[in-house]
């Protein structure tokens, strides 16, 4: 699972897992990422913060890039 956290009021992918504060987690599966991007829920309870569609798309793209990078190393 990959951690998402709030930094400077924006939701970001916490690749190192060391951003202070509350975090939320996403599965690495493409299906989970699609549901995350398409979700109409504005408030992510675990973060106690809203994430707009642009932030969701940016996070999903960061995750896809990370997964592609990991796959190329295998």
Strands (E) in 1-74, as ranges, are: 2-7, 10-13, 23-26, 43-44, 49-50
Share of the chain above pLDDT 90, in %: 22
How confident is the model over 6-39, as pLDDT tens digits? 888 888 999 888 999 888 999 889 899 999 888 8
- What is the chain's mean pLDDT, rounded? 87
Instruction: Judge whether residue 56 has pLDDT over 80.
Output: yes
Q: How many domains does one find in the chain?
A: 1
Q: Which helix (H) or strand (E) holds 5?
A: strand 2-7
pTM across the whole model: 0.78
pLDDT in the model for residue 19: 92
Domain limits for position 36: 2-73
């Amino acid at each position: 699972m990959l951690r998402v956290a709030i930094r400077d009021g924006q939701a970001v992918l916490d690749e190192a897992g060391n951003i202070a504060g509350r975090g939320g987690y996403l599965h690495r599966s493409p299906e989970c990422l699609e549901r995350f991007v398409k979700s109409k829920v504005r408030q992510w309870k675990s973060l106690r913060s809203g994430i707009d569609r642009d932030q969701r798309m940016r996070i999903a793209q960061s995750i896809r890039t990370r997964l592609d990078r990991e796959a190329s190393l295998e």
